[in-house]
Amino acid sequence: MRGKVMGFFLLFSVLLAGDYPLKPVKFYRVKFSPESLPGNRVKTAIEVTIPHDFEMAERTGRIANFEKAAGLKKGDFQGRRYNDSDVFKIMEGAAYSLMLKRDPELEAYMDRLIFIVKKAQAPDGYLYTARQVNPRKLSPGTGPTRWSNLFTSHELYNVGHMYEAAVAYYLATGKDEFLKIALKNADLVYKVFYQGKKCAYPGHQEIEIGLSKLYAVTGKEKYLKLANYFLHNRGRCPFRAMFASESDFRVYNDPKYMQAHLPVEEQREAVGHAVRALYMYSALLDVGTLIDYRPYIDTAFSVWKDIVGRKIYITGGVGSLAEGEAFGKPYELPNKEAYCETCASIANVFFNHRLFLLTGDGKYLDVLERTLYNALFAGISLSGDRFFYVNPLESDGKLERKPWYSCACCPTNLARFLPTLGKYFYALGRDSLYITLYGENTARVEVSDKKIKIEERTIYPWDGKIDIRFFPESPIEFSLYLRIPGWAMGRALPSSLYKFVNPPREKPVVRLNGREISLKVEKGFLKIKRKWKEGDRLEVSLPMPVMKVKADSRVKDDVGKIALQRGPIIYCFESVDNGKEILKDKIPEKTTFRAEYRPDLLGGVATLKGAGFTVIPYYAWDNRGPSRMKVWMEVKKGK
């Protein structure tokens, strides 16, 4: 990291000091071992996913759209009206990648893209190539004039992603060209909507998060005010104002789809399009903490309870319905038809991470970890260049990951999410350090202005033994909060939606410098307050039996079935291991499964064996050619 950039980081953290009580560690301070599961995901994202996504963006005309809007190329707008957002998301991922690894070629490519984006931007700051390339030949869903069809135009969504990318690149390089483009656009949006008192809000939430980041990096309150204005307007401004045409309004008059059925403070249930919803719930927490507005936070708590109690899959996937890419009714969790968009998993991680940073409660990390290791990691192939848009829990063998989609939101969301994995592994409070997820890494953090190196050795999630050593620059007193996952204490989720039939018989064991310490777990953490000195060692042992999971009987699709979980990993039965009749197969109720670590298989995984079946981690399915698959297995009476 270059010296001059450190000042920017300082500014970033100081401005946020009044909001979330806990701060995530900077992701680039966590160096995963490349063989570890998270390390492998980060490495693959940088080496494969980001270059692959850029190439696909080139091939599909997404980058050419900017060149055409800039007058550098001739031709029509190509693709969908939200394609600009894909380019911005890959750029955001590339910026994070530069924070992890110097790459002058990538930086030069980014600078070239930024040059094109700048040229494409209208003199007043407007940027939306779906209109700019040829205003007389608009991409479907685009309104006839600026912001006239917010219901579906994605005009504000696209630039929200630009704000996030621009902030990331500024923090990565200290160069402010991209940030200036973003600010010029945000200033225009502020003038038109906030100062112009335009009663409207984005059809797809996202800009609210981007604006909070612009506020954090500039300290300019106008961006925070604008984010809050959009949140405030939702459910208050007439829904009709979101449509350019009366006929469209009559056909699509469903404000629940975009969480506009009630003012956000009154919303209590998770409804509508899942990605929109979860971006909005995340924004409610960002803005709610920054402006200290409790009703936003209360909404976030309520919808979380609704999701975790009634609307989440055992894989941590959310948004069960294909129709409207939406949350279903309570307990409506079909397996084969499960939608579980990869973007919804990413958004669910964003949401739960924020809830943890606000409360310090490990129950949110239990949800985050479940989603991350299962529904989210399933979204990308082990090779890093094939993607699932939907992540069902059962398949007839026809579904396979693809290199790209005409709606490429998921591949590009993964490109910006995966490089930042490190930030979910540690958090910092006032004189406190939280170890939040496990995976082999070396981290460099600062607690109370003292530098500490942490070395974590483990093959988690394949084994529950974790060896952590601390190397503070000099002895320092602070509280260490060590996460004891809910599953290790016999709780599948912080709700009664899923239960372990056979929870672990043993309790987690924690040793400090060889001596066992008593396991007093509060809010999912074991607190150890002491003066930490060089070489201090924690040995953590989390029990990892193979657990059978049962769903609440109101989940019709799971009645008479079990799922298998070991550690945070949910397993599945694939036909490639078990034959083509797997979807019809049942297992005897008393079947026991044993785990076997297979370093040679699927990048290194623990498989399960029982009743003649081989079971693999759900996230790793469809990596050996087309295969039938199911997570929930029918049970028959007897041994």
Residues tagged active-site:
325, 409
DSSP annotation of 582: T
Whether residue 274 contacts residue 344, with contact meaning beta carbons closer than 8 Å, is answered with yes
DSSP annotation of 60: T
**Residue 343 within binding range of ligand FUB, rule CB under 6 A:** yes
Which is closer to ligand FUB, CB of 216 or CB of 321? Answer: 321
Which is closer to ligand FUB, CB of 117 or CB of 409? Answer: 409
Q: Is the dihedral of CA 148, 149, 150, 155 positive or negative?
A: negative
**Residue 303 within binding range of Zn ion, rule CB under 5 A:** no
The residue from 410, 433, 435, 454 that contacts Zn ion (CB under 5 A) is 410
What is the number of the residue whose Cβ is closest to Zn ion?
343
Which is closer to ligand FUB, CB of 141 or CB of 403? Answer: 141
Q: How far is CA 59 from the centre of its chain?
A: 26
**Residue 84 within binding range of ligand FUB, rule CB under 6 A:** no
Residue with tokens 């579906």: 152
**Residue 341 within binding range of ligand FUB, rule CB under 6 A:** yes
Which is closer to ligand FUB, CB of 325 or CB of 456? Answer: 325
**Least gap, CB of 386 to ligand FUB (angstroms):** 18
**Least gap, CB of 551 to ligand FUB (angstroms):** 25
Whether residue 461 contacts residue 569, with contact meaning beta carbons closer than 8 Å, is answered with yes
Identify what 620 binds: Zn ion, ligand FUB, none; CB under 5 to 8 Å per kind: none
The residue from 108, 407, 519, 559 that contacts ligand FUB (CB under 6 A) is 407
**Residue 162 within binding range of ligand FUB, rule CB under 6 A:** no
Task: Spell 28-50 as b/e; 16+ CB within 10 A means b.
Answer: bbbebbeebbbbbbbbbbbeebb
**Least gap, CB of 180 to ligand FUB (angstroms):** 26
**Residue 343 within binding range of Zn ion, rule CB under 5 A:** yes
**Residue 347 within binding range of Zn ion, rule CB under 5 A:** no
**Least gap, CB of 275 to ligand FUB (angstroms):** 4
**Least gap, CB of 209 to ligand FUB (angstroms):** 13
d(C-alpha 148, C-alpha 509), whole Å: 60
Sheet of 30-32, strand order: 30-32, 441-447, 450-458, 465-472, 536-541, 509-512, 515-516
**Least gap, CB of 411 to Zn ion (angstroms):** 8
d(C-alpha 488, C-alpha 426), whole Å: 19
d(C-alpha 355, C-alpha 347), whole Å: 12
CB-based contacts of 251, cutoff 8 Å, min separation 6: none
Which is closer to ligand FUB, CB of 69 or CB of 278? Answer: 278
Applying CB under 5 A, what is the total number of residues that bind Zn ion? 4
Encoded one letter per residue, x for contact with ligand FUB by CB under 6 A and - for no contact, window 218-257 reads ----------------------------------------
Strands 586-588 and 633-636: parallel
d(C-alpha 445, C-alpha 426), whole Å: 9
3-class secondary structure, 317? coil
Q: Residue 387: left if φ>0, alpha if ψ -120 to 50, beta else—which one?
A: beta
**Residue 275 within binding range of ligand FUB, rule CB under 6 A:** yes
Applying CB under 6 A, what is the total number of residues that bind ligand FUB? 8
Identify which of 377, 622, 366 has the alpha carbon closest to the alpha carbon of residue 486.
Answer: 366
**Least gap, CB of 343 to ligand FUB (angstroms):** 5
Identify which of 212, 239, 186 has the alpha carbon closest to the alpha carbon of residue 16.
Answer: 212
CB-based contacts of 326, cutoff 8 Å, min separation 6: 257, 271, 272, 273, 274, 319, 339
- Rounded to 5°, angle at Cα 399 from 397 and 402: 140
Which is closer to ligand FUB, CB of 113 or CB of 409? Answer: 409
The residue from 26, 68, 81, 204 that contacts ligand FUB (CB under 6 A) is 204
Identify what 82 binds: ligand FUB, Zn ion, none; CB under 5 to 8 Å per kind: ligand FUB
Identify what 437 binds: ligand FUB, Zn ion, none; CB under 5 to 8 Å per kind: none
Which is closer to ligand FUB, CB of 325 or CB of 440? Answer: 325
Identify what 165 binds: ligand FUB, Zn ion, none; CB under 5 to 8 Å per kind: none
The residue from 286, 325, 366, 622 that contacts ligand FUB (CB under 6 A) is 325
Identify what 407 binds: ligand FUB, Zn ion, none; CB under 5 to 8 Å per kind: ligand FUB
Site for ligand FUB, rule CB under 6 A? 82, 204, 275, 325, 341, 343, 407, 409
Q: Which residues bind Zn ion (CB under 5 A)?
A: 341, 343, 409-410
